Amino acid sequence: MLSSLNARITWLMRLRSLVAGLQLLALPLVLQARLMPSDRWGLYLALVLFLPGFNLLLRWAHAQDDWQHPGWLWGQLSIDTLQLVLLLWITGGYLNPFSALLFIHAALGGILLLQFWSILHLLILGLGIGWLHSTALMTPVIDRFGLSVGLSSQLLVALALWGLTRWLAQLMAESHQQLTALREKSQSRERLRVLGALAAGFSHEFATPLNTLHLRLARLERQYPEASDIPPMHHALERCTQILRQMVGVTPEGAEEVEVQISFATLLPPILTAWQQEHPDTPLEWSPGPGWDEILLLPRLALTQALFNLLDNGHEAAPGKPLSLTLTLTTEEVRLQVMDRGPGWPDVVRRQWGEPFVTTKDDGTGLGLYSTGLVAQSLGGELSIGDRDGGGAWVCLRWPR
């Protein structure tokens, strides 16, 4: 936001210099058209030269302040508006054909300024237009009815132009935010793919040495069955093996896996049965929902690993407490949601959501949610997390049908 504000101010300063040059070139035309008495050319020059002098002052002020407040931009645009009003006043007032330039200031206020400051600038512009018309009342032969009609029409045109440009500015801001979000998402996905490829290469390089260590350690255990150091070594080696297996699982090969025609009625029961056999102390409640017997094109291996990761996370958060799994199929998307009754998501996971190796568990790797997120991305969906009412956490894997 700050860099955008500085860019707008810089652009306005350049426009101000251009306008000053055009106003200076217009002086002979103003005198020839007798829009201004010849004794006012000095005042005209002073108002024109004020603009480049104002720019020099702003450059000095910019060195002292980074222009972080939107009032800077509003102040500059308002001063530019007042300069134009005074210039029109000495060159014929509202009868000057160049009075239409005030409408450009209405458009600039709608585009460059934020909501509050934009409205404030519009009020100042309206006061300037009203003042130009009020000075004409001092002329005894003025048509007061025509003057009021001219004032009303100019105010309506300024308001309409401001509203249109304000609406366009909001549309452009929303489009810019969407493009920025898509760009960041694309960059994040590319970084994750690179990291996954690096992790896969690392794990493959260490697979052979770890297998060798497994064999040597088993031989030592047979030779020295009473040695107390061997069980901790076994545990550490198993942990290294588990980490490397999970690192292989985070590679973005899920997107390239051959998808199969299968229904959740066929896919889920074997997965849940196998998981329940590994965790018989944790009750698993699940509801398939309507349409779970429909045949879909699914990556079986990727979804199996993802569901195991989500169930394992729920079990580790609240061992022995019930887990809940729901499957929802709509005409637009598929949702798999796992809920537990643990303490909820830790702050560190919330802050670094979507990054690998983020965990609060002593023996955790921080790759379970990360790899499941990659599966969601490969399906064109997303993984989201949150806390349950009454305690616990939920995680939802969703993707379009």
Is the separation of the CB atoms in 372 and 302 below 8 Å? Answer: no
Report domain extents, the chain. 2-142, 254-400
Q: Cα–Cα distance between 26 and 191 in angstroms, integer?
A: 57
pLDDT of the residue at 379: 81
pLDDT tens-place values along the chain, 401 residues long: 444 777 888 888 899 889 888 888 888 877 777 777 777 788 888 988 999 899 888 888 777 666 677 888 899 999 999 999 998 888 877 777 788 889 999 999 888 888 899 999 999 999 998 888 887 655 554 566 667 787 888 889 989 999 999 998 888 888 878 887 777 766 666 665 656 555 655 665 666 677 677 777 777 888 888 778 888 887 777 777 766 665 555 444 433 445 788 888 988 998 898 888 888 888 988 888 788 888 888 888 788 888 888 898 888 888 888 999 999 998 889 999 999 988 888 877 777 666 666 666 655 556 677 778 878 887 888 888 888 888 889 999 998 88
C-alpha to C-alpha distance for 79 and 378, rounded to whole angstroms: 54
Q: Which pLDDT score, from 0 to 100, does residue 61 have?
A: 79
Q: What is the pLDDT of residue 362?
A: 56
The pLDDT of residue 396: 92
The pLDDT value recorded for residue 1 is 42
Tell me the two tokens of residue 328. Answer: 């929802």
Residues 106 and 158: beta-carbon distance below 8 Å: yes
Q: How many CB atoms lie within 10 A of CB 116?
A: 11
Alpha carbons 188 and 176: distance in angstroms, whole number: 18
CB of 122 closer than 8 Å to CB of 162: yes
Tokens of 241: 């093996």
Task: Give the whole-angstrom CA distance, residue 226 versus residue 35.
Answer: 110
Spatial separation of the C-alpha atoms in residues 139 and 141, rounded to whole Å: 6
Whole-number Å distance between alpha carbons of 118 and 77: 10
This prediction has a pTM of: 0.49
pLDDT score of 357: 61
| Bridge partner list, 383 | 397
Q: Which amino acid is at 375?
A: V
Torsion of CA 224, 230, 234, 237, to 10 degrees: -110
- The sign one gets for the Cα dihedral 385, 386, 392, 394 is negative
pLDDT of the residue at 164: 92
Fold annotation for 254-400: Heat Shock Protein 90 (3.30.565)
